[in-house]
Structure 1
């Protein structure tokens, strides 16, 4: 049962959105990345993503990212312009130090925009950090 599992709060991991050129669609698109700023590898990484507005919601997607070494990042998904006005939530779960870690990240509605971009050092570009 979930109540029997000892979850720890994940620290030094981030969810960010970065606008980049997509050669398949020949357009600038927002992509969501998970960054591991920890000093160790995070294992069996799962990311659940979903979005909602006042009257609509997206499907819940589950992304298995495998293991993510220290000071690296991995693309989670493309986030389409149609859902930038939604509140988009990402639930990250992984194993490290022999323990289970979990944390929820949220992009509030309309916060994913070029005007809100800040430097994301590990990716060497600008983007939006989820709260």
Structure 2
């Protein structure tokens, strides 16, 4: 039963969308997993999808899955590139990982229009401008 599962709280793990570069034609964006813990996390599984309403119609993107055997402590990994066209949707990243034999998981959701300049910070470890959810 779900009540029998341990309540493992996810701490010091973040998902961020960072601006990688700009040209006259377009901006380049990437999504990062940031491990702010001192210890590594293992068997990291991330599913990503976008969903919401665009031009009055319901829209869903494909579900993508990403796997990292280890993300070292105080380190980050690139999850995937992200298209600016999806910024008007909910962009969901469900992250699951192990520390030892304990499993942790959490959904990180970038709400529509939350990836904007006014929400930018300097992302820790990545050292680029972007939006981060912890």
Q: Could you tell me the TM-score, scaled by structure 2's length?
A: 0.85
Contact 2:17 2:131 in 1 (8 A): yes
1:112 aligns with 2:115: yes
Shift of 1:126: 1.6
Residue-pair matches, total: 128
Which residue of 2 is the match for residue 73 of structure 1?
76
Which of 58, 63, 67 pairs up with 2:61? 58
Shift of 1:116: 1.7
Cα separation, 1, equivalents of 2:101 and 2:20: 36
Which residue of 2 is the match for residue 82 of structure 1?
85
Q: Could you tell me the TM-score, scaled by structure 1's length?
A: 0.87
Cα separation, 1, equivalents of 2:94 and 2:8: 13
Classify the secondary structure of the residue corresponding to 1:53.
Answer: strand
Which residue of 1 is the match for residue 18 of structure 2?
18
Cα separation, 2, equivalents of 1:37 and 1:109: 26
Gap regions ≥5 residues in structure 1: none
Cα separation, 1, equivalents of 2:52 and 2:86: 9
Cα separation, 2, equivalents of 1:27 and 1:65: 29
Cα separation, 2, equivalents of 1:7 and 1:48: 21
Shift of 1:28: 2.6
Gap regions ≥5 residues in structure 2: none
Cα separation, 1, equivalents of 2:129 and 2:61: 26
4+ aligned runs moved over 3 Å, structure 1: 2-7
Classify the secondary structure of the residue corresponding to 1:83.
Answer: helix
